[in-house]
């Protein structure tokens, strides 16, 4: 009897030991994003779901909407290991990530979200870009593709380039530079600050992709929306801390890497559904569509696209960075994507 109890005790102890080891071996990552769950974060949510499924819950991503860091400080948080994964936008701190700002140049000719994914991931794979982000202990994991920006505003519609002179617009990166080229005054308040800036009169208009006009409430103050301005977009990568990535087991790393395509596919499907409903949302909220003439659009490209691109390439060369090569990579990738 005593012998049987001893054997049973040993089995229980072994089971508890295995359970303890399994619990100790579980990996949890903290993920810093901002705002609230929306189309812009759906790929991060899907990534967490897929990674957990593939590892039977052994590797989890804990997503925090603003609880870990301010959006402009996410790259800093990654650099010091304050959290393992984060989303940020290049235009928030262009000096910290100069190479990926090629993707924010105005009038690049990217027409679809699928094209945005292709050119972003091509740029992310360039050695100079990887070295640029490695200065912050950051590894580029995936993009957050967004359609071309357009602006909402109140009062008299800014429906010609002439009417944009002096217009205060919330716009960052290359989009902000494009508006400056036609006399507007860009202000780089964060997305979470945009509604208050519009409400208080700090800005007259706000440039966002459609999901952000919804998520941050600017559509609720809008009287009009530009349907075809399309000056460009911002580039917002999801990055991981290099040390944390390298500390993953082979199976965990495979689960993470192999889930990126599925997460992006989910994002594209979800965003596509939003775009299909956009016209109905405008009608529901009584927001008028403003359409620019072909002549104004051509002039907008002429005064902003070429000069800003050439200045960007020169600035990159002055820093010892392959600006021309990165721009050419975007163009060749875009051509190949359309060829496919």
Residue with tokens 């200045």: 311
Mean pLDDT of 299-303: 93
- What pLDDT score does 9 carry? 52
Mean pLDDT of 18-33: 74
pLDDT at 4 over 50: no
Q: What percent of the chain has pLDDT over 70?
A: 93
Mean pLDDT of 267-287: 94
CA distance 333 to 297: 25
pLDDT at 123 over 80: yes
Query: What counts of helices (H) and strands (E) characterise the chain?
Result: 13, 11
Where on the phi/psi map is residue 165: left (φ > 0), alpha (ψ -120 to 50), or beta?
Answer: beta
Mean pLDDT of 126-130: 98
Contacts of 214 (CB under 8 A, 6+ apart): 38, 274, 281
pLDDT tens, position by position, 50-99: 999 999 999 999 999 999 999 999 999 999 999 999 999 998 999 999 99
Domains of the chain, first to last: 27-146+234-274 (3.40.190.170), 150-233+279-339 (3.40.190.170)
pLDDT at 282 over 50: yes
pLDDT at 209 over 60: yes
- What pLDDT score does 90 carry? 95
pLDDT tens, position by position, 247-268: 999 999 999 999 999 999 999 9
- Pair 28, 62: CB distance under 8 Å: yes
Structure-block tokens of residue 147: 């359609």
Mean pLDDT of 135-148: 96
pLDDT at 14 over 60: no
Q: Give, as one character, the DSSP assignment of residue 287.
A: P
pLDDT at 206 over 70: yes
Query: Mapping DSSP to helix (H, G, I), strand (E, B) and coil, where does residue 153 land?
Result: strand
- pLDDT averaged over every residue in the chain: 92
- What pLDDT score does 25 carry? 72
In the beta sheet, which residues pair with residue 171?
none
- Pair 327, 205: CB distance under 8 Å: no
Mean pLDDT of 187-215: 92
- What pLDDT score does 3 carry? 45
Mean pLDDT of 209-238: 94
- What pLDDT score does 20 carry? 47
Mean pLDDT of 159-182: 93
| CA dihedral (72, 178, 281, 288) positive or negative | positive
pLDDT band at 272 (very low <50, low <70, confident <90, very high): very high
pLDDT at 287 over 90: yes
Q: How many angstroms separate the Cα of 285 from the Cα of each of 52, 152, 190, 215?
A: 39, 12, 24, 14
Structure-block tokens of residue 192: 């979470």
Residue with tokens 């390439």: 313
Residue 18 vs residue 314, higher pLDDT: 314
pLDDT at 13 over 60: no
- What pLDDT score does 172 carry? 87
pLDDT at 17 over 70: no
CA distance 89 to 190: 10
Residue 184 vs residue 23, higher pLDDT: 184
pLDDT at 315 over 80: yes
Query: Mapping DSSP to helix (H, G, I), strand (E, B) and coil, where does residue 62 land?
Result: strand
CA distance 177 to 29: 36
pLDDT band at 189 (very low <50, low <70, confident <90, very high): confident
pLDDT at 208 over 80: yes
């Amino acid at each position: 009897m005593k012998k049987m109890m001893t054997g049973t005790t040993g089995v229980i102890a072994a089971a508890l030991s295995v359970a303890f080891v399994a619990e100790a071996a579980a990996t949890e990552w903290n993920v810093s994003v901002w705002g609230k769950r929306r189309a812009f974060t759906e790929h991060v949510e899907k990534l967490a779901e897929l990674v957990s499924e593939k590892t039977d819950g052994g590797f989890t991503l804990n997503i925090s909407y603003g609880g870990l860091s301010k959006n402009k400080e996410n790259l800093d948080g990654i650099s010091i290991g304050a959290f393992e994964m984060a989303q940020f936008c290049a235009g928030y701190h262009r000096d910290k990530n100069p190479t990926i700002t090629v993707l924010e140049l105005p009038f690049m000719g990217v027409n679809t979200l699928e094209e945005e994914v292709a050119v972003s991931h091509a740029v992310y794979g360039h050695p100079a870009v990887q070295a640029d982000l490695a200065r912050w202990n950051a590894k580029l994991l995936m993009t957050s593709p967004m359609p071309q920006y357009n602006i909402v505003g109140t009062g008299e519609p800014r429906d010609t380039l002439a009417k944009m002179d002096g217009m205060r617009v919330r716009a960052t990166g290359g989009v902000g530079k494009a508006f400056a080229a036609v006399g507007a005054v860009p202000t780089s308040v964060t997305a979470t600050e945009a509604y208050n800036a519009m409400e208080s009169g700090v800005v007259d208009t706000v440039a966002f992709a459609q999901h952000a006009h919804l998520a941050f409430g600017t559509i609720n103050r809008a009287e009009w929306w530009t349907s075809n301005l399309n000056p460009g977009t911002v580039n917002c990568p999801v990055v991981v801390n290099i040390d944390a990535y390298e500390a993953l087991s082979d199976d965990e790393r495979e689960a993470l890497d192999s889930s990126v395509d599925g997460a992006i596919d989910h994002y594209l499907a979800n965003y596509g559904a939003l775009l299909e409903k956009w016209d109905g949302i405008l009608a529901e909220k009584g927001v008028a569509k403003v359409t620019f003439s072909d002549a104004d659009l051509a002039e907008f490209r002429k005064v902003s696209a070429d000069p800003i691109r050439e200045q960007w390439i020169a600035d990159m060369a002055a820093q010892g960075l392959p600006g021309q090569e990165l721009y050419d990579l975007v163009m060749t990738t875009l051509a190949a994507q359309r060829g496919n």
